[in-house]
Structure 1
Amino acid sequence: MSKRASGLDIRAFFKAKQPCSTSPTEQELSAELNERQELVMNSEEEHDLTDKPELELELVENEEVSTCNHKLKLRVFNNRAQMKCRGHSAEEGNFQTYLRDKAEDDPNLAGWLQKNHSYTSPDVQNEILSIMGNTIIRGIVGEISALPVLQYSIIMDGTQDISGTEQISICLRYVDKDLEPREEFVGMYEASSTTAEHLWKIASDVLLRLNLPLSGLRGQTYDGAANMSGHLSGMQALVRRVQPLATFIHCGPHCVNLVTQAVSSSAPVVNDALHWIHDLGCLFGQSGKFKTIFKQIAISENGSVTTIKPLCATRWTVRTPAIKSVLAQYELVMAALEEMAAVKGSVSAPRARGLLDHFNKGTTILGLVLGQEIFLKLEGLNRSLQGRAVTIGGMLKAVECTKKALVAGRTDDAFMSLYSRAVELTTSFDLESIKLPHVRKASNRYGGPAKSHIPSSVEEYFRVQFFCASDTAVTQLDDRFHQEGLGYLAKLEEHLLTGKCHEAVARYPELDAELLQVQLAMMKASYQFTSCQEASQLLTTMVPEVRRLFNQVETLIRLLLVVPASSCEAERSFSALRRLKTWLRSTMTQCRLNGVSVCHVHREKLQAINREQIAVAFIGMSERRSHVFGAF
């Protein structure tokens, strides 16, 4: 085949239009393909027709390339738009439907689809998905390998998909050339067992395949499950036996979640109120009759409806939206429960009567008001720790700020303000007044001859519970964030900020303690900084020659930034898993799931992929494809 430049050159065909940075719509795809067809037709008119055999060969080969381009564009579009390829049968999916629709306006594509081949089969689709996913992952690993000093951390978490298969999400964290922390998802991996040994085998195999040596592993972050965080036989312990410098951090948001759970259990008035809200949400979701009644009442009174949802059994830091929803619609809830309780023959009527009895008490209002005050602070802390760029130093400062706010709110005046608000709401909703519960006299067998304490007022009784909840929050924050790994990193940050040499520096081979001491003194003589973030910003604003003077300081800053504060990136990949592997796609193979999930999570990287590179890789995997599509 001639290599001369012509309008039908397949290289020019693929380079005619670069991928855009926004999501391609079907109209944009159609317009782009029509534009390319016009280019080919115009070039055909200008081409020297004396060499007909060679021209016919080029035309045939461009038909194959055009079809290959159709397929690649569709795979990219489907992955970015979360569209499934197949339907009830192989011929009813979006992939085949799109090709048939485009074939109506493209004779070349129509003729190609009628040939006896398997280039639209699920196996070929999986192959293309795998190539695209591997290309994205190679780009991520390439950025890590190109760092001045190899430092990265691993984030892992597990969940079950719709088919009951245990999926392990693995993410990598590193600090880029601009000293910005990056967290990247690299795949879902099926686990036949959730023991620490098996999970470590999966993680080590992934790192080996990515050509990332364990010598550069500097951090690991998981949840608090025993198989992950166990100090003797958990995965973090197994990793540290191989790489002692892989500092383990218990995920910050998970710690806050456990703190919130302990706070709820410490105050009965708050715990009971949350229980009734959960039962109300269950009734709303399970009883179509009650849902209809509530919506009718809400629309007639307010013109809009706010859904009442049950509380999540594991996510404790999402309580305040449910509390706000009930408090804002309390009268509507009471009216709906009264009407539902009067329905005869309904299995939900007894539940409605029981809930009506509890929601008619002022103590329920008081429990919601007191709980909301503490939960708002903890949920604010939880949200602040979920970003990809969160650092260990920033997390510890946020925890200290939250503790100060909780201590400041633990006063008689603060409690009386909340109690007065609860009394006002109780009066406005015409509920039973807040009363002391029946207090049983303690048996002498347990209390002895001493007289047991009996609260003298309602305020005193519930103030004790409020103070207990506040104290529990503060002590739990102290305990949960007092970790060995955090202590090591705090010492390193202290060394950065004060310049005082610490033995923790000597543990890391990439740090030269003497040279670091000199560079810190030089940097402090010319610049001022009070945190790791400020120091990193200073380095990024320096000219290259000055920045190279502080290469050891930069290495220390990278070490402080590379350790993850949370495993939220893995949690975000679970959201993608729920969108991708639904009950309609429950039989999706692991190979396909991995390719789809990587492409979907990294949509921007997918859009920037060079389709010619993907086509070359796809064609190069088989000699027969080289004969069909030609060489690039």
Structure 2
Amino acid sequence: MASKRAYPSGAEKRKKKKSEEDKLSQSKGSLLKYFGRGGPVQPDVSASVGIPELSSPPTDREAPGQSAPPADSQAPGPSSTPANSSSPIDRQAPGQSAPPADSQASGPSSPPSDRQTPGASYPPADSRAPRPAFGQPIDPPERNLALRGSTNTLHQQHNGNFLKEVELLAKFDPVMKKHIDRVESGQFSHSSYLGNEIQNELIASISGKILDTVVAEIKRSKYYSVILDCTPDLSHQERMSVIIRIVRMDDDEAPEIKEHFLGFLVASQTTGLGLSSLILNGLEELNIPFDDCRGKSYDNGANMKGRNKGVQARLLEKNLRALFVPCGAHTLNLVVADAAKGSTDAVIYFGNIQKLYNLFSVAPQKWAILKDRVTLTLKSWSETRWESRINSIEAVRYQAPNIREALLEVRDKATDALTKVEAQALAEEVGSYRFHICTVVWYDILHQVNHISKLLQSATMQLDVAVDLLMKAKTSLTRFRDTGFSAAQASAKDICDEMNVEAVLKEKRLRSTRKHFAYEDPDEPIRDAMKRLEIMFFNVVVDTTTESLKERFESLVEMRSRFGVLRYFKELDGEALSNQCDELCSTLSTEDEKDIDGKELALEISNLPSLPSSDMTALQLLSHIHKKQLK
């Protein structure tokens, strides 16, 4: 009699392995559908069985030989794909095919919703209560959370958001729970689909699908503008961010300005030639034609806006209709920087502001003294964003007496002579009339500049609105020059009275200017300290700001004049309207083709019905035309 085999044969091993792979493919399908759709899959079965949609997790799962229902029956999530496309991360095992939407999955480990698995109970559909809010799985991509943690082990504290969501999903999903039990028991001899590689693949798949959707929307809009900026990262590589700005025009929705971030490009060369080649190659890889680009915007660096070899000049050679508009926020930042460099008193003032922050922030004990007396703490100013220095001035503007008391306390408690001297000098400076006049003047200027800077950074900002804001800022500065200094004196005097110090401007020793030629007359010195501060500080700062606004935004004003006919056509007569339409046609034309016909545009504008308002922005006018179907 033959003895019974103690070990399984090769055929039995292969059969067992194939069975495990089939069961794992079911779990993998559920896992990928969950994270690929941004939440549990909820097939629409209300039409076939007559029950309302539920928020509880579905009970039907994929079985061997079957795959997920079509994408139009999936519940959309933050990373969901369009309804008429299939997700690239909904995988199928070899030989699987998608069943119809109304078909039910079957198999030993994936019962349909109208059956019960042994050992599990399913209440009727109408008695299921919605899952509580704290039981809803969060979506890491939507909240910009990292998926991976410091460990890849289940049920560990720092295993990352991905595995934590898998653990949470297992509490409601019997298939996922069975998969996790097998992983923890060590029954798998192959990948568990919970490691780093599958996480990276999920991220790449979702990112690729989102990018495909964005590119498709850009192509539907046809014309676009490109926004570029370069910055080094933590690995000391120069990276260029690419943003595409479009106007989305759908038949059933109002026109909308949208900005899409396409990603970072590693810039090995920061010359105009290197950066222009980089962006052209990037657009070509995405199959976005550069001939449809009608605008470009970046900072005021020589390699970017250079007229001969800059990026804007090289891209203009490729496309004459890609008009350059400098970054408004960066240009406004340079305006304030120009004003600060023009006055010695301004440079000294910001140096004292930074000294205040350095004195208190060097030790926790000193910072505690400051916090006991103020509600707005001191801020360190930025070297690259001048308009943000309002944060460092605001605390001094409204809490100068408290800061001075904190300085005196630091002086009394300090043990080293250097700290005592520095605290005493800063206390005298903060208590001076000159310091508070400079504080009020700079706060008023930076407050207005910072407000305009925030508006210019809006994704929906329009060219005509931006120019109007800048013109209003220039007008406001002109009025400020007439009354600002006297108002600053009054505010500074109130601060000095609150600190019980004399509001007197200390005289400084007058320096005589050497004559370089015998025929020169000596300059008449300004002996009045207040008059000298007004001329050498206030007038210089305000005049430099006003003039810099005019010079640095000249290209923006010129661009509005080219397209001004689209907004101010009601103010033009027939001949002027025709001339400006022809000029706009010439701007948007090349030797081979043109975007518009000047004569047809003038005729359409002349026949345009009355508008609801005479002061409409370009986007409001476009929305009105779309609403009235005047296209």
Fold agreement, TM-score > 0.5: yes
Mapping 1:173-184, distance limit 5 Å:
173-177=245-249, 178-184=254-260
Instruction: Name the structure 2 match of 1:601.
Output: none
How far does the alpha carbon of each residue in 1:111-149 deviate from its partner, in whole angstroms, 9 at most, with x for none? 4534221522222212211111121122222222223xx
Report the aligned-residue RMSD.
3.7
1:505 aligns with 2:591: no
Task: Work out whether residues 170 and 188 of structure 1, in 8 Å CA contact, stay in contact via their aligned partners in 2.
Answer: yes
Matches within 5 A, 1:314-325: 314-325=384-395
Letter in 2 for 1:127: E
Partner of 1:523: 608
Which residue number corresponds to residue 81 of structure 1? 143
1:127 maps to what in 2?
201
Following TM superposition, by how much is the alpha carbon of 1:185 offset from its aligned partner in structure 2, in angstroms? Answer: 1.0
Match of 1:245 among 288, 310, 321: 321
Q: Does 1:429 align with 2:499?
A: yes
Equivalent residue number for residue 170 of structure 1: 242
Partner SS for 1:123: helix
CA distance in structure 1 between the aligned counterparts of 2:277 and 2:182, rounded to whole angstroms: 45
Letter in 1 for 2:511: R
- 1:41-60 equivalent positions in 2, closer than 5 A: 55-56=107-108
TM-score, scaled relative to structure 1: 0.71
**Aligned position for 1:68:** none
- How far does residue 407 in structure 1 lie from its aligned partner after superposition? 0.8
Shift of 1:292: 1.7
Deviations 1:523-555 (A, max 9, x none): 16777745534422321320x3xx23xxxxxxx
Superposition deviation, residue 209 in structure 1: 2.2
2:259 aligned with 1:187: no
> What's 1:606 paired with?
none
Q: Indicate the SS of the match to 1:310.
A: coil
Q: 1:495 to 1:85 in 2, by over 3 A?
A: closer
The reply on whether 1:93 has 2:159 as its aligned counterpart is yes
SS of corresponding position for 1:231: coil
Going from structure 1 to structure 2, the CA distance change for 1:259 and 1:470 (only over 3 Å counts) comes to same
- Alignment equivalent of 1:532, drawn from 618, 628, 631: 618
Q: Is the 8 A contact 1:362 1:423 kept in 2?
A: yes
Do structure 1's residue 221 and structure 2's residue 297 form an aligned pair?
yes
> Are 2:340 and 1:264 equivalent residues in the alignment?
yes
Q: Is the 8 A contact 1:294 1:333 kept in 2?
A: yes
1:199-223 deviation digits (Å, cap 9, x = unpaired)? 2232112211222111100000001
Higher relative contact order (CA 8 A, sep 6+): 1
**C-alpha deviation, 1:403, in angstroms:** 0.7
Change (3 A) 1:123 1:205: farther
2:87 alignment counterpart: none
The one-letter code of the counterpart of 1:329 is: Q
Report the Cα offset of residue 306 of structure 1. Answer: 1.8
Query: Where do residues 96-175 of structure 1 align in structure 2 (5 Å cutoff)?
Result: 96-100=163-167, 102-103=169-170, 106=174, 107-113=177-183, 114=186, 115=188, 116-117=190-191, 119-147=193-221, 150-175=222-247
Q: Kindly tell me: are residues 275 and 54 of structure 1, through their superposed partners in 2, closer, same or farther at Cα, counting changes over 3 Å?
A: closer
Answering whether residue 485 of structure 2 is matched by residue 415 of structure 1, we say yes
Preserved contact between residue 137 and residue 169 of structure 2 (Cα < 8 Å): no
One-letter code of the match for 2:307? H
Partner of 1:35: 56
Match of 1:233 among 309, 330, 343: 309
Match of 1:471 among 523, 526, 543: 543
Q: Does 1:400 align with 2:471?
A: yes
One-letter identity of the residue aligned with 2:107: L
Q: Aligned-pair distance for 1:156?
A: 0.9
Deviation at 1:451, TM superposition (A): 4.0
In structure 2, the CA distance between the partners of 1:126 and 1:297, relative to structure 1 (3 Å rule), is same
What's the counterpart of residue 67 of structure 1?
none
Q: 1:90/1:230 Cα in 2 relative to 1: closer, same or farther (>3 Å)?
A: farther
**Whole-angstrom CA distance in 2 between matches of 1:164 and 1:36:** 46
Tell me the SS of whatever aligns to 2:246. Answer: strand
User: How far apart, CA to CA, are the structure 2 residues paired with 1:118 and 1:377?
Assistant: 58
Question: Using a 3 Å threshold, how does the CA distance of structure 1 residues 356 and 446 change in structure 2: closer, same or farther?
Answer: farther
Instruction: Please say if residues 118 and 124 of structure 1, whose CA atoms lie closer than 8 Å, have aligned partners that are also in contact.
Output: no
Q: Amino acid of the residue matched to residue 420 of structure 1?
A: A
Matched residue type, 1:145: K
Match of 2:50 in 1: none
Q: Secondary structure at the match of 2:258?
A: strand
Give the % identical residues.
20
After TM superposition, give the deviation of residue 450 of structure 1 in Å. 2.3
Equivalent residue letter for 2:274: H
Partners of 1:423 and 1:336 lie apart in 2 by 21
Scaled by the length of structure 2, the TM-score of the pair is 0.71
Q: Cα distance, 1:488 vs. partner?
A: 4.1
1:218-617 to structure 2, matched below 5 A, reads 218-298=294-374, 305-342=375-412, 343-345=414-416, 348-411=419-482, 413-431=483-501, 433-445=504-516, 450-464=521-535, 465-483=537-555, 486-494=557-565, 497=569, 498=572, 499-502=577-580, 503-508=583-588, 509-523=594-608, 529-530=614-615, 531-542=617-628, 544=629, 547-548=630-631
Contact 2:247 2:258 in 1 (8 A): yes
Q: Within 2, Cα distance between the matches of 1:347 and 1:88? A: 46
Please tell me the residue identity of whatever aligns with 1:428.
E
Partner of 1:585: none
Given that residues 295 and 322 in structure 2 are in contact (C-alpha distance below 8 angstroms), is that contact kept between their aligned partners in structure 1?
yes
Mapped to 2, the partners of 1:86 and 1:346 lie a distance apart of: 51
Instruction: Indicate if the aligned counterparts of 2:401 and 2:498 stay in contact, CA closer than 8 A.
Output: no
1:293, CA displacement in angstroms? 1.7
Q: 2: CA distance between counterparts of 1:525 and 1:100?
A: 62
Name the SS for the 2:554 alignment partner.
coil
Deviation at 1:325, TM superposition (A): 0.8
1:195 offset after TM fit, Å?
Answer: 2.2
Letter in 2 for 1:241: E
CA distance in 2, matches of 1:463, 1:134: 59
Quick one: distance in 1 between partners of 2:197 and 2:302?
39
Query: Where in structure 1 are there 5+ consecutive unaligned residues?
Result: 1-7, 22-31, 42-52, 64-72, 299-304, 549-632
Please give the per-residue CA displacement for 1:486-526, whole angstroms capped at 9, x wherever unaligned: 52442222365232323341242120122112111111677
Instruction: Write the letter of the residue equivalent to 2:145.
Output: M
Deviation at 1:344, TM superposition (A): 0.8
Contact 2:227–2:243, Cα closer than 8 Å, also in 1 = yes
CA distance in 2, matches of 1:507, 1:397: 22
